[in-house]
Structure 1
Amino acid sequence: MTQTLKTKVLIIGAGTGGYVAGIRCGQLGLDTVLVDGGDGLGGTCLNVGCIPSKAIIHAASKFETVSKAAGEGTLGITASEPAIDLSKTVAWKDGIVRKLNNGVAALLKKAKVKVIKGWATFEDAKTCRVETADGPITITAEHVILATGSEPVELPFLPFGGDVVSSTEALSLDAVPGKLVVVGGGYIGLELGIAYRKLGAQVAIVEMAERILPLYDKALTDPVMKWLTDHGVEMHLGARAGGFGDGKLSITTKEGEPLSLDADKVLVTVGRRPRTAGWGLENMGVAMAGPFVKTDDRCATSMRNVWAVGDLTGEPMLAHKGSAQGEVVAEVIAGHDKRFDPVTIAAVCFTEPEIVSAGLGPLDVAGRDDVITAVFPLAAIGRALAIEAAEDGGFVRVLASKDDHRLLGVQAVGQHVAELSNSFAQMLEMGAVLEDVAGIIHVHPTLGEAFHEASLRALGHAIHI
Structure 2
Amino acid sequence: MSLTELKVPDIGDFQDVDVVEVNIKAGDAIEKEQGVLTLESDKASIEVPSDLVGTVKEVKVKAGDKVSQGTVIALVETADAGSEKPAAPAAPAGKPAAAKADAPAPKEAAAPKPAEQKPAAGGSQDVKVPDIGDFTDIPVIEIHVKAGDTVEKEQSLVTLESDKATMDVPSPAAGTVKEVKVKIGDTVSEGTLILTLERQGGGVSEVEEKPKTAAPQPAEKATAAPAPKAASFSGSADIECDMLVLGAGPGGYSAAFRAADLGMNTVIVERYATLGGVCLNVGCIPSKALLHAAAITDAAKELAHHGISFGEPTIDLDKLREFKSGVVKKLTGGLAGMAKARKVQVVTGVGKFVGPNHMEIEGEGGKKVVQFKKAIIAAGSQAVKLPFMPEDPRVVDSTGALELRQIPKRMLVIGGGIIGLEMATVYASLGAEIDVVEMLDVLMAGADRDLVKVWEKFNAKRFANVMLKTKTTKAEAKDDGIYVSFEGEKAPAEAQRYDLVLVAVGRSPNGGKIGADKAGVAVTDRGFINVDKQLRTNVEHIFAIGDLVGQPMLAHKAVHEGHVAAEAAHGEKAYFDALQIPSVAYTDPEVAWAGKTEDQCKAEGIKYGKATFPWAASGRAIANGRDEGFTKLIFDEETHRIIGGGIVGTNAGDLISEVCLAIEMGADAEDIGKTIHPHPTLGESIGMAAELYEGVCTDLPPQRKK
Matches of 2:457 and 2:525, distance apart in 1: 37
Matches of 1:231 and 1:121, distance apart in 2: 45
Helix, strand or coil at the partner of 2:512? coil
- 8 Å contact kept, 1:21–1:323: yes
In the alignment, does 2:476 pair up with 1:244? yes
Helix, strand or coil at the partner of 2:413? strand
In the alignment, does 2:658 pair up with 1:384? no
Q: Deviations over 1:96-154 (max 9, x none)?
A: 10110010011111111000111112112221111122221011111010000111000
Aligned to 2:646: 411
Q: Give the unaligned 5+ runs of structure 1.
A: none
- Listed as ranges, the matches of 1:80-119 within 5 Å are 80-119=311-350
Question: Does the C-alpha gap of structure 1 residues 406 and 231 become closer, same or farther in structure 2, counting only changes over 3 Å?
Answer: same
Aligned to 2:611: 374
- Listed as ranges, the matches of 1:284-303 within 5 Å are 284-288=519-523, 291=526, 292-303=528-539
Matches of 2:459 and 2:616, distance apart in 1: 20
- Shift of residue 395, structure 1, vs aligned partner: 0.8
In the alignment, does 2:553 pair up with 1:317? yes
- Shift of residue 403, structure 1, vs aligned partner: 1.2
TM-score, normalized by length of structure 1?
Answer: 0.95
Helix, strand or coil at the partner of 2:373? strand
Opposite residue 384 of structure 1, the aligned amino acid is: A
Residue of structure 1 aligned with 2:516, choices 281, 287, 291: 281
- Shift of residue 303, structure 1, vs aligned partner: 0.6
- Listed as ranges, the matches of 1:108-147 within 5 Å are 108-147=339-378
Opposite residue 231 of structure 1, the aligned amino acid is: R
- Shift of residue 217, structure 1, vs aligned partner: 1.9
Matches of 1:261 and 1:236, distance apart in 2: 13
Compare 300-309 and 30-39 and name the one that shifted more: 30-39
Helix, strand or coil at the partner of 1:339? coil
Residue of structure 2 aligned with 1:44, choices 278, 291, 295: 278
Residue of structure 1 aligned with 2:425, choices 168, 175, 194: 194
- 8 Å contact kept, 1:354–1:413: yes
- The aligned length equals 460
Aligned to 1:427: 662
Aligned to 1:400: 635
- Shift of residue 80, structure 1, vs aligned partner: 2.4
In the alignment, does 2:410 pair up with 1:175? no
Helix, strand or coil at the partner of 1:365? helix
- Listed as ranges, the matches of 1:212-231 within 5 Å are 212-231=443-462
Structure possessing the higher radius of gyration over alpha carbons: 2
Opposite residue 44 of structure 1, the aligned amino acid is: V
- 8 Å contact kept, 1:87–1:173: no
- Shift of residue 75, structure 1, vs aligned partner: 1.1
Matches of 1:256 and 1:99, distance apart in 2: 44
Q: Give the unaligned 5+ runs of structure 2.
A: 1-234, 701-706
- Shift of residue 55, structure 1, vs aligned partner: 0.4
RMSD: 1.7
Higher RCO, Cα 8 Å, sep 6+: 1
Residue of structure 2 aligned with 1:452, choices 687, 696, 701: 687
- 8 Å contact kept, 2:601–2:607: no
Aligned to 2:253: 19
Helix, strand or coil at the partner of 1:364? helix
In the alignment, does 2:259 pair up with 1:28? no
- Shift of residue 3, structure 1, vs aligned partner: 6.2
- 8 Å contact kept, 1:212–1:221: yes
- Shift of residue 273, structure 1, vs aligned partner: 1.1
Matches of 2:397 and 2:277, distance apart in 1: 16
Question: Does the C-alpha gap of structure 1 residues 53 and 331 become closer, same or farther in structure 2, counting only changes over 3 Å?
Answer: same
Aligned to 1:260: 495
- Shift of residue 365, structure 1, vs aligned partner: 1.3
Matches of 2:269 and 2:568, distance apart in 1: 20
Q: Deviations over 1:19-49 (max 9, x none)?
A: 0111111111100000011473110110011
In the alignment, does 2:541 pair up with 1:305? yes
Matches of 1:312 and 1:35, distance apart in 2: 16
- 8 Å contact kept, 1:376–1:395: yes
Matches of 1:304 and 1:404, distance apart in 2: 40
Q: Going by fraction, where is helix more abundant, 1 or 2?
A: 1
Question: Does the C-alpha gap of structure 1 residues 373 and 290 become closer, same or farther in structure 2, counting only changes over 3 Å?
Answer: farther
Compare 430-439 and 152-161 and name the one that shifted more: 152-161
Opposite residue 101 of structure 1, the aligned amino acid is: T
- Shift of residue 258, structure 1, vs aligned partner: 3.8
In the alignment, does 2:591 pair up with 1:355? yes
- Shift of residue 278, structure 1, vs aligned partner: 2.8
Residue of structure 2 aligned with 1:233, choices 439, 464, 483: 464
- 8 Å contact kept, 2:439–2:468: yes
Opposite residue 401 of structure 1, the aligned amino acid is: D
- 8 Å contact kept, 1:150–1:311: yes
Helix, strand or coil at the partner of 2:352? strand
